[in-house]
Structure 1
Amino acid sequence: MIGKILGDALKTTGDTLRTTGDIADSVLNAGGNFLDRARDFRRRGKKKIKGKVILMRSNVLDFTEFHSTILDNVAELLGSGIEMNLVSATEVDRHSNDPRGKIGTKAVVERWLTSAPPVFAGESVFQVNFEWEDDFGYPGAFYIRNGHTSEFFLKSLTLEDVPGYGRVHFDCNSWVYPKRRYRKDRIFFVNQSWLPSETPEPLRKYREEELLNLRGDGRGERKEWDRIYDYDVYNDIADPDAGDKLVRPILGGPEYPYPRRGRTGRPRTRRDPNSERRLQSVIGLNIYVPRDENFGHLKMGDFLGYALKALSASIKPGLQTVFDTTPGEFDNYKELYNLYEGGFPIPQNLFTLLSDSLTAPLLKEVLRIDGDRFLRFAVPDVIKDDKSAWRTDAEFAREMIAGVNPILICRLEHFPPLSKLDPKRYGNQNSTITEEQIKDGLEGLSVHEAMKENKLYILDHHDALMPYLRKINSTSTKTYATRTLLFLKDDGTLKPLAIELSLPHPQGEQLGAISKLYFPVEKSNVEGSIWQLAKAYVAVNDAGYHQLISHWLNTHAVLEPFVIATHRQLSALHPIHKLLAPHYKDTMFINAFARQTLINADGLLEATHFQSKFAMELSSYIYREWNFLEQALPADLLKRGVAIKDPSSPHGLKLLIEDYPYAVDGLEIWSTIKNWVTDYCSIYYKDDTAVQNDIELQSWWKEVVEKGHADKKHEAWWPKMQSLNELIESCTIIIWIGSALHAAVNFGQYPYGGFVPNRPTVSRRFMPEVGSKEYKELESCPEKAFLRTINSQLQCLLGMSLIEILSRHASDEVYLGKRGSLEWTCDKDALEAFDDFGQEVNEVEERIMERNRNIKFKNRTGQANVPYTMLLPSSTEGITGKGIPNSISI
């Protein structure tokens, strides 16, 4: 098994050795190239303009690339190097009827052989000299042909002193494969932005042809060098050929609506011709996405190191008896604390594996082996300062507005709480809570008065889960659909009033729900333990909903269609492409990895969350209610009733929970993003007519709606994309989802959920009944009973490994307000607007830190003393609980 893991790792992180056919290509081309160079020698007297090429080539220390480096050098000796031709944006060939821009004389990238490849993956600078013709005009694009046997990452081309134009820059940032991999030479455009109607006539055909190349023809299996963006349904998460246990519904279509994902075109399974065959790689990093959507060298290294840890599932079954005499269980919190404070002694059966020099390094990484101890995790923030604060009602409530899932709490608008489920199908699903039961917690108010003063709130998972709860509880899960009622105190904090745990009626769902109510208990007796269990069932609901819906569905999955449509319909020359591209970085790849390893049948999500094999099916059910416009933060806050419109306020809203850290910080980030988008779009679109007449923009939006989110294309709420305001709002929502929303629900996972009792993801038995042996266990050993109810040891360790990966920033992350390239455009107005955006982001960060220092805001740190930093824009590498990357990149 370990050998297979290592083999797969090498296969996916490196690139396979090239065939001798590549050398043959070089030999066949050598004669022509020598003739070309001879002509170059005769033309040396002509005027030249210098160009600087920055690229990243094969790493000489990478075993799989070492041979390619040798072959590339052979190709250079044979005259098959890297060739370029400039393309004019202003002049056409006078000797032909082709309306396309004039193509200049071929130039060759120089000094490849005399420039040693970097020892580590890094940039190399080369020179290229272009022959200049006085009537060539403005170089608006260039062709490039890679005559080598291996690909390279082309960062940029810069021309110095172009006659009449000065410095001209091409911001490329793309992988270029050997020319035999392409039907048409690669083309790159200048870092200028033009709307389609404003594009210089000689460049228009080139612009249109490049988009056609990126769309492909929808046929065949995609290979790593392909640059094809296309759509498919989620037919790759099941594995029907492996048996009934791994059969899952195909998501995407009338029965199971879902956003579309990137098409790979892999062969279909034998058992189900509608399902795509899964990769057999253990790690699964070689799944197709267009190469430019793949992780870069630095991030691939970071990610592999931590992703391997999650594969501990491969050897965990043999370790279940390591901890104590009770296989697969924690008996008390101390055993959990040992995971952070020192790990566990290495068992004898591991020493044999560790003696294998091949597998030992990998095992040490997977099992966190340090000396004679293993399985040691970093201390999560929630228990770093106080090991018991997580148990308090105050922290339980605070995390609903300042934790890892602060986007669900709603103001209570009806009492008792009502269900929106169809009563003809599900019977009476309304809450059974009465005023008499909660009046002691209302601080002298009646329910009517408390609602009128906006003091009653609810965390409601009932309707989202009840339709699937019978199925879910048919597995090893034993849980409830929950409602939690809360009261807003005068000091701005929340306190729980009641928890309602509901199950489907045992005689049929049409008979409604069977509900039980639980109320806060301060005593350390069995009633107090019962209340702790009730809170745990709420946390299980919330953790499962968070991971599957708030995180996966509402950020990762819904954004992928926008990534695909942007590359298919908006040229790299289009200003909206340049605006949105940084917010798509790595998203397609991390989603592809998730389909292979995390959300797949019997994957890590199913193994560690209560929804089990119904997880993705449940997310399809909830996607039915997804509304693009409601993803805007102001619209979301208004919908949940936690804010009201207030034209006099800076954001047009008044928060009803004034100390609501996610909403307070989020509104500042939202406004900053919208200001930037408004300034940027206004540079290129002077009125609504310009939006309406932009053929690429209209095709882009039509495809997003009709193909990317095809199952929701008939919804009336989609913007029509007929006005500048609609464009600004739509782009703001896209950037918000890809940056701040994802950050808010992702990077706090380990700080809050790394201590599993605070956010358990599984419940394995129901609330104990009085007189049962489980109830007696709760009376005598409350910690043991609690831990027997939530995640098992294996689920705990897998879940912690998973969220440790997901909570980590990579070393090459680019954060909100910054760009990976300083020369992403040459438009001065756009650059100035972006500088203003960066400055505004910095100012928001300073205000967030100031609020966290202000002791009057009690919800910003809470009893666990964990400051709310999820929307703090900047961060360093690692698990920091802060930072807003530009994109969904992990």
Structure 2
Amino acid sequence: MVKYKVTVTTAERLHSGTKNHVFIKLVGTEGESERKQLCSLTRHKPFTRGAVSSFTVSCPVSLGKLLLIEVDKTPRFLFPDDSWFPCKVHVTSPEGDAYHFPIYRWISDSRDHLFREGTALQVFEDTHHLGRYSREQELRWRKEQYCWAVPVEGAPHCLRVDSLHSLPCEVRFSFTKKTEFDWTAIAALTELKLKRLADSTDNWTDISAMQRIFYNKTTQLADYVRAHWKDDDFFGYQFLNGVNPMLIRRCSALPENFPVTDDMVFLHGSGSLAEELQKGNMFLCDYKRLDGVTTQIINGKKQYLMAPLVLLHRTPDNKLKPVAIQLKQKPADDNPIFVPTDSEYDWLMAKIFVRSADFSEHQLNAHLLRTHLLAEAFAVSLLRNLPMVHPLYKLLIPHTRYTIHINHLARLQLISETGVFTEFSASGGDGMVQILQRALSSLTYASLCLPDDIAERGLDSVPNFYYRDDGLRLWDIIHRFVRGVLAYFYRRDADVQRDSELQAWIQEIFIHGFLSQASTGIPQSFSSVAELAKFVTMVIFTGSAQHAAVNSGQFDYGGWMPNSPTSLQRPPPTVKGSADECSMLQTLPATNTTVNGMATLWLLSRQSSDFVPLAHYPEEHFAEEIPRKLMRDFQGELEDLSAAIKSRNRRLDVPYTYLDPALVENSVSI
């Protein structure tokens, strides 16, 4: 008789323990044990939250090299069936060999669950028939659990879910996250002390009234925004380091539909557009994606969303300032080009219409599409096509945490027919669908890869561009880590080519994430380790750093409504000299639109107490030492970057914190 020591670790999360009977079967190359109930002689309740309990499993003879374990549970007499979240099982063989079985999954039923030993294996390495069988069974079960759905024609597909309760347990929020994130606008309105204003359709009568509600909850940067939102240099700064640094590009020639002249932007012949364009000092933000978008009716009134063109100039003191704004795409007599020398309210109104357009462009393209929806497509394909034993599953599963759950909540409470975004933004409803379709049809792989995107937009040398500086360093650190891990498992390009599960993963991403649009440049297959490393870097960067860059500052920059109106109630001026403070207040969104927008941005900018920073891996999926060492090196490099960012920020009037690795979450979870 030989004895195996079995150690079972239950998670620390709330309600993760079980009172049920737990059984295990060990399966090796030379046979399998009997199904054994795990009874601890030292613990009365061995599977309580956080418990680490050891057991002995006896077998007549050695089982050889262990391949997998079979775990199940049954309710005790008079006790209900419950859910259990084991982290891992560690087995020491009679020969002294150690085997690590990662689980990290809710077990909520009484069926048998198979788990592979933690050594990563690609499908072509998994030669034992039992290993191949368990691999096939796992993927068959996952494809039944994780099915694609088409929520919006022309947008990325998502997980098919009938209700929040039908989400698979392994992708749901923890109890802690769920308790904190009782995500309703009412809760946020109450916290912000704005509930009494939520139903008021009155217009604002003066700026001071907005300031009073703004002070119910604020941040240091939000205060700065309130004080400087009218300043031209701060208006320009936001295109680089605000929540939407994705639109600005260097301008080498003006578009034909933007007839700006020297006289408009350079006083008394002090400069030349041609010269400044040639020097690389002119920049363009073109909101053409918003042209002709259907706008919402809010409070019984038609809302307005423009598709402006904004020309910015880099000044000798390295500030970026707007020099011309055209609010509609087609030049016309009733579509004047506004310039800084216009009257105070003409120029301010032009900038307000730009900031409102930027709100819609940011929320629906930079934020929703390019982080949330793509991250879900990456995650669903991962869960459908890669078993737990696959090295890429082990690498990427931490970067999918809560993504599917948060996106389902967004579909229920943000962008549904009665969602906050739909009801209180100009681009909600049909407009949202139009913008998403246009954004996906023009999206490119290069624009998702930060080094390529910065180069393509001509922004390599723009000063004071902290999103670029921090983002490129983050990209490089992530890429080195990813390249090291993948090179350990894929020794040759041929290994990538013959990994059928890997090829199925990228094929479903191409089909369901990018709707089979070859024009995006998204790979349809992988032929080399280098190609795979770049794509995986993009996946991790998109779900962590990029999401932080476009999400974390939403209340900072949008909490003061005039800087980021969710909607506007009147059309823009058609002639100069017609704008004043009264017309501005009548154009800005009504009280209920303002406070519901504030509440939503407040919710979306909050960090959960179970936040997991980038490169922190509380779940031990890798058994091999080299990937684990690479993780430690990864963490060390990010700590150095975090220290450098904090040091720089101490010298800045407006600190840029959103890509500080200590504040970047591992996944899209908010």
Report the TM-score when normalising by structure 1. 0.70
Give the drift of 1:716.
5.3
The answer for the alignment partner of 2:665 in structure 1 is: 885
Contact (CA 8 Å) 1:299, 1:812: kept in 2 or not? yes
| Distance (whole Å) between structure 2 residues aligned to residue 441 and residue 670 of structure 1 | 45
Among candidates 437, 449, 455, match of residue 264 of structure 2:
437
Post-superposition CA distance 1:442-491 (Å, at most 9, x none):
9x442221111110001111x21114268899962123211111011222
Post-superposition CA distance 1:830-854 (Å, at most 9, x none):
1111111111111111221222234
The answer for the alignment partner of 1:587 in structure 2 is: 403
The answer for the alignment partner of 2:27 in structure 1 is: 87
Post-superposition CA distance 1:794-835 (Å, at most 9, x none):
1111111111111111111111121122x3211111111111
| Pair 210,311 (structure 1): closer, same or farther in 2 beyond 3 Å | farther
Among candidates 393, 401, 404, match of residue 240 of structure 2:
401
Which secondary structure does the structure 1 equivalent of 2:593 belong to? helix
| Pair 561,802 (structure 1): closer, same or farther in 2 beyond 3 Å | same
Which secondary structure does the structure 2 equivalent of 1:718 belong to? coil
Among candidates 114, 125, 135, match of residue 187 of structure 1:
114
Gaps of 5+ in 2: none
Which secondary structure does the structure 2 equivalent of 1:532 belong to? helix
Give the drift of 1:612.
2.8
The answer for the alignment partner of 1:603 in structure 2 is: 419
For residues 232-243 of structure 1, the aligned pairs below 5 Å read: 232-234=149-151
For residues 9-24 of structure 1, the aligned pairs below 5 Å read: none
The answer for the alignment partner of 2:160 in structure 1 is: 263
Give the drift of 1:769.
6.1
Post-superposition CA distance 1:591-625 (Å, at most 9, x none):
11111111112311122222132213321122111
RMSD: 3.0
| Distance (whole Å) between structure 2 residues aligned to residue 300 and residue 889 of structure 1 | 11
Contact (CA 8 Å) 1:231, 1:708: kept in 2 or not? no
**1:230 equivalenced with 2:139 (yes/no):** no
**1:288 equivalenced with 2:171 (yes/no):** no
Give the drift of 1:84.
1.1
| Pair 467,840 (structure 1): closer, same or farther in 2 beyond 3 Å | same
Amino acid aligned to 2:668:
I
For residues 523-538 of structure 1, the aligned pairs below 5 Å read: 527-538=343-354
Contact (CA 8 Å) 1:478, 1:765: kept in 2 or not? yes
For residues 670-819 of structure 1, the aligned pairs below 5 Å read: 670-712=475-517, 717-718=522-523, 720-768=525-573, 775=578, 779=580, 782=581, 784-819=582-617
| Distance (whole Å) between structure 2 residues aligned to residue 470 and residue 115 of structure 1 | 59
| Pair 472,320 (structure 1): closer, same or farther in 2 beyond 3 Å | closer
**1:626 equivalenced with 2:443 (yes/no):** yes
Post-superposition CA distance 1:109-132 (Å, at most 9, x none):
3259932987xxx42334432123
Contact (CA 8 Å) 1:502, 1:513: kept in 2 or not? no
Give the drift of 1:167.
3.0
Among candidates 642, 654, 659, match of residue 866 of structure 1:
654
**1:617 equivalenced with 2:434 (yes/no):** yes
| Distance (whole Å) between structure 2 residues aligned to residue 820 and residue 110 of structure 1 | 27
Post-superposition CA distance 1:164-219 (Å, at most 9, x none):
3433222211000121xx5xx21112221111122251412111211111112xxx
| Distance (whole Å) between structure 2 residues aligned to residue 116 and residue 826 of structure 1 | 24
The answer for the alignment partner of 2:206 in structure 1 is: 332
The answer for the alignment partner of 1:272 in structure 2 is: none
Among candidates 816, 832, 853, match of residue 629 of structure 2:
832
Amino acid aligned to 2:114:
I
| Distance (whole Å) between structure 2 residues aligned to residue 466 and residue 565 of structure 1 | 34
Post-superposition CA distance 1:325-376 (Å, at most 9, x none):
xx523222222222244xxxxxxxxxxxxxxxxxxxxxxxxxxxxxxxxxx3
Post-superposition CA distance 1:734-755 (Å, at most 9, x none):
1111011000000000111111
Amino acid aligned to 1:482:
P
Which secondary structure does the structure 2 equivalent of 1:432 belong to? coil
Give the drift of 1:139.
2.1
Which secondary structure does the structure 1 equivalent of 2:348 belong to? helix
The answer for the alignment partner of 2:64 in structure 1 is: 137
Amino acid aligned to 2:322:
P
Give the drift of 1:514.
5.6
Contact (CA 8 Å) 1:761, 1:791: kept in 2 or not? yes
Which secondary structure does the structure 2 equivalent of 1:464 belong to? helix
The answer for the alignment partner of 1:517 in structure 2 is: 337
Contact (CA 8 Å) 1:412, 1:458: kept in 2 or not? yes
Amino acid aligned to 2:220:
D
For the pair shown, which has the larger CA radius of gyration, 1 or 2?
Answer: 1
| Distance (whole Å) between structure 2 residues aligned to residue 172 and residue 394 of structure 1 | 53
Which secondary structure does the structure 1 equivalent of 2:380 belong to? helix
Which secondary structure does the structure 1 equivalent of 2:666 belong to? coil
The answer for the alignment partner of 1:34 in structure 2 is: none
Contact (CA 8 Å) 2:304, 2:569: kept in 1 or not? yes
| Pair 130,440 (structure 1): closer, same or farther in 2 beyond 3 Å | farther
**1:299 equivalenced with 2:171 (yes/no):** no
Gaps of 5+ in 1: 1-45, 92-101, 217-227, 235-250, 267-278, 280-285, 342-375, 419-429, 506-511, 643-654, 855-860, 875-882
Contact (CA 8 Å) 1:381, 1:866: kept in 2 or not? no
Give the drift of 1:671.
0.5
**1:464 equivalenced with 2:280 (yes/no):** no
Structure with higher RCO (Cα < 8 A, 6+ apart): 2
| Distance (whole Å) between structure 2 residues aligned to residue 116 and residue 720 of structure 1 | 46
| Distance (whole Å) between structure 1 residues aligned to residue 302 and residue 328 of structure 2 | 18
Contact (CA 8 Å) 1:53, 1:157: kept in 2 or not? yes
Report the TM-score when normalising by structure 2. 0.92
Contact (CA 8 Å) 1:382, 1:755: kept in 2 or not? no
**Kindly, what percent of the aligned residue pairs are identical?**
26
Amino acid aligned to 1:763:
L
The answer for the alignment partner of 1:115 in structure 2 is: 45
| Pair 617,830 (structure 1): closer, same or farther in 2 beyond 3 Å | same
For residues 94-109 of structure 1, the aligned pairs below 5 Å read: 102-109=31-38
Among candidates 104, 120, 123, match of residue 196 of structure 1:
123
| Distance (whole Å) between structure 2 residues aligned to residue 820 and residue 128 of structure 1 | 24
Post-superposition CA distance 1:47-89 (Å, at most 9, x none):
43232222259968xxxx9xxx9xx76xx6xxxx21111122x
| Pair 678,771 (structure 1): closer, same or farther in 2 beyond 3 Å | closer
Contact (CA 8 Å) 2:568, 2:588: kept in 1 or not? yes
The answer for the alignment partner of 1:124 in structure 2 is: 51
| Pair 311,513 (structure 1): closer, same or farther in 2 beyond 3 Å | farther
Give the drift of 1:628.
2.7
Give the drift of 1:787.
3.1
Post-superposition CA distance 1:700-727 (Å, at most 9, x none):
2222223443342676553531111110
| Distance (whole Å) between structure 1 residues aligned to residue 33 and residue 333 of structure 2 | 75
| Distance (whole Å) between structure 2 residues aligned to residue 830 and residue 290 of structure 1 | 29
Amino acid aligned to 2:360:
G
